A and B are shown apart, each in its own frame.
Chain A
Amino acid sequence: MTDVLDPPIHIEHHDGGHEEHHGATGILNWLTSTDHKVIGMSYTVTSVIMMVIGGAFAEIIRAQLATPNGSLVSLAQYNELFTMHGSVMIYLFAGPFAFGALANIIVPIQIGAPDMAFPRLNALSYWLYLTGSITMLSGFFVAGGAANFGWVAYAPLSNSLNTPGSGADLWIGGLLLTGFSAIFTGVNLCATIFYLRAPGMTMFRMPIFTWNMLVTAILILLAFPVLTAGLIMLYCDRHFGTHIFSVAGGGVPVLWQHIFWFWGHPEVYILALPFFGMVTEVIAVFSRKPVFGYKGMVFATLTIAALSLGVWAHHMFTTGVVLLPFFSIMSLLIAVPTGIKMFNWIGTMWKGQVWFSTAMLMSIGFLFTFLVGGLTGIYLASPPLDFFTHDTYFVVAHFHSIVMALVLGAMSGLYYWGPKITGYLLNERLGKAQFWFLFIGIQVFTFPIYLLGLYGMPRRVAVYPANPQWKALNDLSTLGAVLIGVSTVIFVVNIVVSWKKYPAGDNPWDAQTLEWFTTSPPPHHNFYRLPQIRSERPTWDHNHPEHRTLHHGEHDVDPQVPESEGEHV
């Protein structure tokens, strides 16, 4: 990597950049726009609404489980609720929020591009996503109710014999539409990142967030078509008389699990990597340091992606029909690159100036919660331990530690990048209140259910034996869910209270990457001028030319006396 000391401001005029954008305004703008920022905002609003809907389902589920023989909902409604809770959160919130909302808004600006590579395809992605979401949720309004076979839709429970209702078909249709939306976004992100980088923005000068989005996009392209194919097979089984997943016609039920998890495990990283990227950016900015071990971080991300394609059957250890040692070692190995990331995050904070903004608090909360989820994941990679925790609340607790860490990451991203796209900051006091409710809520929600799983409570049950120990732990967990609910209310209140109140300015956080070089919100094609890009943090280099990145073994020099340039090129 090269460093340029004391760089002259190199202004590049973007062709047409100074032109005012004379387009539609208001609702018509929203409907017709191909601007990545408008589409990204649509994604943000839609996916956050989905998070609130999925969260409401979760609150009902926890309320039902507060008593052993809960009668808030019926057995049938309960099955619909947890199915749609999982489906909404995974298919309609976490993924679209990551690669539809934040990536769409941030990646082009972060690499100095005027827009996504295929703006119309991008718009199509959003409309497919919105249509798919509505399709899936409309299951609640048809006879027989919404899909009720769990978000994994295991065959043969999901065939037309066992689940005859049209809610299941709407679920399949909705997932197909959002799946295509994800594939198109993946194509778009790959093309954008490969072809639209600004002059000087080499691959190894891309911020970690963009790197992670690139790897996510590649994983989407590898995994989602498999899901799409699987869903079409499932639909054929349901309606066209095929027997791909049913024993009666010579099919193999476990094949669905292979197809589903061949998508499903990369999907875990499709969900997680963008949030790793967000947290990386936030931690670096609020420690006022470069990302520690940047290249190691990139290779760790690539390694995670590669390994994630070979671990799907660790979801199937108890089927008795998979090769246990292979999937066990592959799954255990994922802990290595993930550990590298964890230590890189700590290394980034080390000897920094850690500023406890809301975004940073959310990221620190992410580190802890993700560590808990990661460590308990190592247990599950060991078949003998999986045998006695599989399909119990231990697994539920494990992946909720992970996904709630991602929610902390999402909030971190919203507080950090929100001002860039809206031009206004959120209230920090309310933000911190939100953080504490959310963080404590997550721990109070997950820790009891780790124990519940070890005490033998299976997942996806609406009622359970009247065991006082189980009830006490369930009650504690429900309390945690309430705290998380309160944090969401605080978040909504914060948006209302802070509405256009605290102007952000171009770079409120003294941030490092290119998106903070332009105005907040950015102009139509993002940049009027670009700085010299000589490292992965051009804005920092421009604002702090005397505080350049030091390599291992180098010592800080007196900032007043620049070293000779040749030494570092």
Chain B
Amino acid sequence: MPTPALPPQGAPDRSRRWRRVRRAAALPLAALVLSGCTVPGFGATPGDTTSSQSAYHLWQGFSIGAVIVGGITVGLMAWAVVRYRRRGDHIPVQHQYHLPLEVFYTVMPILIVFGLFAATLVVENKETSNPKTNVTINVNAFQWGWQFIYPGTNALVYGQTTQSPIMEMPVNTNVHVNLTSTDVIHGFYVHAFNFSRYALPGVVNQFTFRAQNTGTFFGQCTQLCGLYHSLMWFRVKVVPAAQYAQWISTFNNPADAAAAAAAIKTTNEELATGVASKASYTKFGR
């Protein structure tokens, strides 16, 4: 009858197993080195803003950790299940505690966690900082669409559900976004920017994008907001600065100026309903 409880027998057996392990590990390692150490994206994409790329690198770091820890754990699990499968009625040694081992697998995760937290802090502070900006866009979410107001100009974009209003912004410029909602909670999410933020009624959330590539990117409401939530789409169009200025100037006519002024007035009235005393409330300016 086999006795799985006994420790592995002798050195030759152990070294043979070790050789097998080394051979198995060599292949993926060699592949990694040969590929010029290009770290894979683990499903995520770098995105098109500076902070989306920091978040992406953080993602890669977390993923490498997850693959290593997960790989070791699955390996141990598989080893335990295969190696110690039942092979008879023999009752194994009834060991219950191994204090050094237990301390090891308590302390190691704590160290890993603080490493992850440090990396998180660096990226988070970068992402939530609001550097000096040249362009401000007031984004107002509503059931079921978006309104983009460009304070200081007459530009105003408004669109519902799959009309997909376009938020135009210049490339390589800090663009400050003031985000709010006039009814329920919505989610402002642009996949290419690796970013989302709630549009909360009564609160103006602020953040800054610095797009690095031009292009048109898909955006969508991510927080359930009622019947047409699935269709509450928008687009972000990143254009060269000159083209952006030219686009803004197309609104320089009395009709658009009046429309923008009226829209801002209505929105401010909606926003102000009952929240004028709130410190977090800031009026949409022009």
Chain A residues with CB under 8 Å of chain B are: 75-76, 78-79, 149-150, 154, 156-157, 162, 243, 247-250, 252-254, 287-296, 318-321, 324-325, 328-329, 332-333, 335-336, 339-340, 342-343, 346-347, 349-356, 364, 367-368, 371-372, 375-376, 378-379, 382-385, 387-388, 390-392, 450-451, 454-456, 458-465, 544, 547-552, 554, 556
Contact = CB atoms under 8 A, between A and B. Distances in A.
Q: Which 4 A-B pairs have the closest CB atoms?
A: A456-B191, A391-B222, A388-B194, A461-B230
Interface of B: 4-5, 43-45, 47, 51-52, 54-55, 58-59, 62, 66, 69-70, 73-74, 76-77, 80-81, 84-88, 90-99, 101-102, 105-106, 109-110, 113, 116-117, 119-121, 123-124, 127-128, 183-185, 187, 189, 191, 193-198, 200-203, 205-207, 218, 220-231, 233, 273-275, 277, 280
Contacts of B90: 353
Contact of A318 (B45, B109, B187, B191): B187
B194 A355 contact: no
Contact of A463 (B55, B69, B128, B230): B230
Given A292-B95, A329-B117, A547-B91, A384 B124 contact: yes
Contacts of A352: 80, 84, 92
A313 B76 CA distance: 34
B59 A379 contact: yes
30 contacts: A154-B185, A154-B224, A157-B185, A162-B226, A247-B273, A248-B273, A248-B274, A253-B200, A253-B201, A289-B95, A294-B97, A319-B198, A332-B120, A333-B110, A339-B109, A347-B98, A347-B101, A349-B81, A353-B4, A353-B87, A354-B84, A375-B69, A378-B62, A388-B191, A388-B193, A390-B196, A391-B196, A460-B224, A460-B229, A552-B98
B21 to A, nearest CB: 18
B224 A247 contact: no
Contacts of A392: 189, 196, 222
Contact of A351 (B81, B92, B102, B106): B92
B227 A254 contact: no
Contacts of B194: 387-388
B119 to A, nearest CB: 8
B187 A75 contact: no
Nearest to B276: A250
Contacts of B51: 384
Given A351-B5, A353-B4, A387-B195, A346 B73 contact: yes
Contact of B230 (A319, A353, A355, A464): A464
Contacts of A296: 102, 106
Pick the most buried of A76, A342, A384: most chain B CB atoms within 10 A of its CB.
A384
A42 B44 CA distance: 46
Nearest to B6: A351
A79 B92 contact: no
Given A154-B185, A157-B225, A547-B94, A382 B201 contact: no
B196 A387 contact: yes
B84 A364 contact: no
B97 A156 contact: no
Contacts of B184: 154, 156-157, 162
Contact of A354 (B80, B223, B229): B80
Nearest to B98: A552
A454 B63 CA distance: 13
B91 A463 contact: no
Pick the most buried of A150, A157, A355, A460: most chain B CB atoms within 10 A of its CB.
A157
Contacts of A551: 96-97
Given A247-B273, A254-B200, A293 B102 contact: yes
B268 to A, nearest CB: 14
Contacts of B105: 339-340, 343
Given A157-B224, A353-B92, A375-B66, A455 B191 contact: yes
Contacts of B193: 388
Nearest to B277: A250
A324 B227 CA distance: 31
B44 A454 contact: yes
Nearest to B275: A247
B242 to A, nearest CB: 30
B274 to A, nearest CB: 5
Contacts of B187: 318, 390-391, 458
Contacts of B86: 353-356
A293 B102 CA distance: 7
Contacts of B197: 318, 320, 387
Contact of A384 (B110, B123, B280): B123
A550 B128 contact: no
Given A336-B106, A461-B230, 17 more contacts: A79-B229, A156-B185, A247-B202, A248-B273, A250-B277, A288-B92, A293-B96, A320-B207, A321-B203, A343-B102, A347-B101, A351-B92, A364-B77, A387-B195, A392-B189, A392-B196, A550-B95
Contacts of A75: 227-228, 230
Given A328-B117, A454-B44, A465-B218, A550 B228 contact: no
Contacts of A378: 62, 66, 116
B85 to A, nearest CB: 5
Contacts of A295: 97
Contacts of B52: 388
Given A375-B70, A384-B127, A556 B218 contact: no
A563 to B, nearest CB: 14
B184 to A, nearest CB: 4
Contacts of A375: 66, 69-70
Contacts of A464: 230
Contacts of A387: 55, 127, 194-197
Contacts of A339: 105, 109
